[in-house]
Structure formats: structure tokens, C-alpha cells
Amino acid sequence: MERRPSLLDEYFVRATGARNPKVCFISTGAGDPEEWLAKYYKAFSKLGCRPSHLAFFRKPRRGSIPLTRIERGLLAQDAIYVGGGNTRSMLAVWREWGLDRILRKAWNAGVLLGGMSAGAICWFKYGATDSVLGPGRSSALSCLDFLPGSCSPHFDGEPRRRGDFRNLISSGKLPSGIGIDDGVAVLYQNRQIAEVVSSRTGATAYRIARASGTVVVAPLQATRLHSKPNRRLQATRMKPRAPEPGR
């Protein structure tokens, strides 16, 4: 979600495949700031969807999903959008409330999952996060394991992100993964990359992998979004998929 209705937000809403989709915003990583909630409602109300939110640090208000009925509320959504913030703290709160289990159930039920920054890396097995070392320095973090490998956001937006991610993979602290430039969305389907789109010229996502004792960075082809996006962030998006046995 950007500061105003954006091409990536439009892409996310279109990816639900629903008319007037129900979209829930979760901003746990930033402590559910009121300004973020207001910005979300303003932006997504203009995109033809029915917005709601889940907040653990705010009193109930119009549009909020009751904390006594989290599972029921999220399973009724077409999409769930997660904001940025402190990924480690966000995941700790989610696990305390059982939200990690509920999100997996929503995913298996066909709800589109996505987000930016912390809301992008949380879906992977591991993420490169600045939650521990502070702004600009990344360390490894165990995440939800909905998607394989690792992920680093802000790949071109913060000077040390690219180098830190490469070093974490080179040292074995993180498995091979994907780096995502600001203004780029990666759509996953059946746990595989289906599409990369960008709202910025020259911005894309990259596969980063260990190979023959070195780390290889391979850019992915990105489709440039324009004022009228294709039908078919920094963010990841996961399309509905069939449940996997035992998941």
C-alpha cells in the first residue's frame, strides 16, 4: 500500500478475481497506527473493494474484525493485506493469538494473501529483516513458511539490503531466495512465481542463490504496470491454491 491509490494496490485488488472484493488490512508490525488505518481506508475504498481491518492495539471501531471472531472474519475475506513494521514482533503477536494458524487456514481456503515490507517477507520460510539490528542492517528470521526459501524487501531502497542478503545466503544463515525492489510485486501461485510486475521503470525482483561456492543474482523479467493495469508491491501476492495434504 502506497501513500495514495497506486498501481500495485490496483493490481492486488484485481488479483482477487472478485467483483467488489472484501479486503482486510493487518498492521500489527507497526502497532496499528491510526494514520495507517485512515490511509488504508481512503485508498482501498476508491478501488471498488469492501475494506476492513484487524487490529490488536486499537479499540474496536467501525470496520474492525472482532478479536473474539478472528477466524470467522478472515475466512470471509477475498484478500488479506499486511503492512510493514517490525516483522519479529509482528510474528510473535500473531503466534500468541493463533493468527499464524488462521492465516494458513485462510490461504488453504483460497484467500489471497499479500503485503509490503514485513508484510511481504512474513509468508516465506525465512526473511531478511532489520527488526533486530535496526534500520539498514539485515539478519535472518524464521517466518511462516507458506512460501519456500527466503525474501528481502527494499532491495534497491536501502543501501545495505542487497549486500546483507547476499552475505546471509553465502554464509548459510539463509537459504536461496528472492530480493524485491521497491515498487515491485511478485505473484505466487502454487508456491511458485507466476508473475512479477513493477510500478517503476527498471525495478524488478531477483533470484539469489548459492552456486559453485558463490552467490548468483539473477534478475527476473517484470511487467511494467501503467495507468490501466493488466487484468491478469514492494510486496508479495499469493493466489488461491488447492490445499496441500497435511497442511
Q: Is 154 a catalytic residue?
A: yes
- d(CA 105, CA 95) in angstroms, rounded, equals 14
Q: Is 53 a catalytic residue?
A: no
Q: Which of 27, 52, 117, 152 is catalytic?
A: 117
Report which secondary-structure segment, H or E, holds 8. Answer: helix 7-15
Cell numbers for 190, please give them. Answer: 502454487
Phi, psi torsion values for 211, nearest 5 degrees: -155, 120
Give the whole-angstrom CA distance, residue 99 versus residue 233. Answer: 23
Q: 27, 138, 150, 154: which is the annotated catalytic residue?
A: 154
Measure the CA–CA gap between 115 and 121, rounded to whole angstroms.
8
Say how many CA atoms lie within 13 Å of 56 toward its Cβ. Answer: 18
Nearest alpha carbon to residue 89 among 122, 62, 116 = 122
**Spatial distance between the Cα atoms of 80 and 138, rounded to a whole number of angstroms:** 26
Cell of 191: 508456491
* Active centre residues (catalytic): 117, 154
